[in-house]
Amino acid sequence: LDSALLAAHVRESGMCVPIGQGAWAQTHPGPATWDFAVMDRIWGWAQSAGLPMRGTHLVWHSNMPAWFTSNVSPANATQYMRDHIFAFMGRYKGKFHSWNPVNEAVLPADGRPDGLRQTPWMQLLGPHYIAQAFTFAAQADPSATLVYNEFGIEEDSPAAARKRQFTLQL
């Protein structure tokens, strides 16, 4: 690792947000298998650096494990979501500064009137999957701060303004 880059991160950011880490493919590699080794290492580094940490990507359309499509159905998707959130948050309960229960659920280009992204979760559970994920996260760690994350809304462009409008609506 680049020690100068890590020092700049500690100095400039004020928080460890492991972007791209913690997704299902990494933390939930099998239907009943968990692997928190990478998250444990990042958490250890954040602690040693004195940085609070955000748990990311509890429910996200990206970086899904290969087993997901063959094991998860409308009948069991809510249970899989709940189990994942409770297992992940349970491991770090009271340790992380905040959590990202749902990541990047807005994409107006997908053509839905509510601006929501067509994701596996949307197909399995409908738009209420977002509220479900936040509810499960609040139950798993009632003291946690829950944060929604979106990208592409900060630019001064018509597309960003539209996405920003749908994000605020959400």
Select from 56, 76, 63 the least CA-distant residue to 144.
56
pLDDT at 1 over 70: no
Q: What is the mean pLDDT of the chain?
A: 95
104, 163 in Cβ contact below 8 A? no
pLDDT digits (tens, 9 = 90+) for 10-22: 889 899 999 878 8
pLDDT in tens, 126-164: 999 999 999 999 999 999 999 999 999 999 999 999 999
8 Å CB contact between 141 and 89: yes
The rounded Cα 108 to chain-centroid distance in angstroms is 20
Q: pLDDT tens-digit profile of 72-101?
A: 999 999 999 999 999 999 999 999 999 999
Distances (CA, A) of 159 to 109, 115, 117, 162: 9, 12, 14, 5
